[in-house]
Structure 1
Amino acid sequence: MDDYPLLNIFWTMLWLFLWVMWFFLLVKVVTDVFRDHGLSGWGKAGWLLLVLLLPYVGVLVYLIARGKGIGERDAKQAKGHEEALHQYIQKAAGNVRSSADELSKLSALKDKGDITQEEFDRVKVELLA
C-alpha cells in the first residue's frame, strides 16, 4: 500500500470512471446511428467509420451535430414500447372478458332451460381450457 499512494488510487478511479463513461457514450452513439431510420446507409457507414477511426473526436462531433435527435429517438422508441405493451394488455384482458361474457351467456341459457346441465358443464370446461 505504501508504494501506491491514496492520491494515485483516486486518479486511477477517476480515469476508470471517465473511460467507462466514454465507452457508454460510444455504445449509445453506435446504437443511435443504427436506430435512426432517416439516415441513409452511406450516412450510417460514414458516422460509424468516424466513430471507430477517431473515437473521441467522432463521439464529440456526433453529439454536437445530432445530439438533440438522440433524445427524440429515445422518447419515440419508449412511446412505441409503451403502446405495444398497452395493446398487449388490452388484448389479454379482452380475451378474459370474452370468456367471462361467454360464461354469463351460457349461464343465462341454462337458467332459461335452453340447454341442459351436462351441456353447460361441457361447454364451460371448453371455455376455461
Structure 2
Amino acid sequence: MDTYLLAATDYPLLNIFWTMLELFLWILWFFLLFKIITDIFRSHDLSGWGKAGWLVLVIILPLIGVLAYLIARGNSMGKRDVAQAQQTEAAFKAYIRDAATTGPTGGGSHADELAKLADLKEKGAISDEEYQKAKDKILS
C-alpha cells in the first residue's frame, strides 16, 4: 500500500499540467493537419498534380508541409471556408423557404387548401359531394 501512495505522489502537479499541455498540442496539431488535408481536396484552383504534391509534402514532411501550406495558401484557405459557409447557409435558407411555401402536400398547407375548397363551394363551382370528397382527400 505504501508503494501505491509513493507512486501517486511521485508525479508532481507541474508534470500533470505539462502532460495536459502536450496532449492539447497533439490534438491541435491533428486538427490542423486534417483541416489542411480537407482544404487541399476542396480547392478547385489546384490541379490533380498540385493536390498530390501538397498532400505528399504534408504527409511526408508534416511540420514543413503544414507551415508552407499555411504561408502559401492560408489566405485562400480562409476565403474557401467563408464561401463554403455562405453556400451552406444559402442552401439551408432555400430549403426552409421551399418547405414553408409548399407545405406538407406540395401545394400549400392544409388550411389554405381547405379555405380554397370552401370558397369554391360558396361560389357554387363545386357541389357539396365534391367538396366533401376533396376535403376527405386533403385531410387523409
**TM-score, normalised with respect to structure 1:** 0.90
Partner of 2:22: 15
Are positions 1:119 and 2:130 aligned together?
yes
How do 1:37-52 and structure 2 match up within 5 A? 37-52=44-59
Alpha-carbon RMSD across the aligned residues, in angstroms, is 1.6
Aligned counterparts of 1:115 and 1:58: Cα–Cα separation in 2: 74
2:4 equivalent in structure 1: none
**Counterparts of 1:22-101 in structure 2 under 5 Å?**
22-96=29-103, 98-99=108-109, 100-101=111-112
| Structure 1 gaps, min length 5 | none
- CA distance 1:73–1:95, shift in 2 (3 Å): same
| 2:9 paired with 1:2 | yes
Per the alignment, do residues 37 and 29 of structure 1 end up closer, same or farther by CA in structure 2, a change over 3 Å counting? same
Identical positions, percent: 60
Unaligned residue ranges in structure 2 (runs of 5+): 1-7
- State the Cα distance separating 1:128 from its structure 2 match: 4.3
Larger radius of gyration: 2
Secondary structure of 2:108's match?
helix
Q: Structure 1 90/125 Cα, relative in aligned 2: closer, same or farther at 3 Å?
A: farther
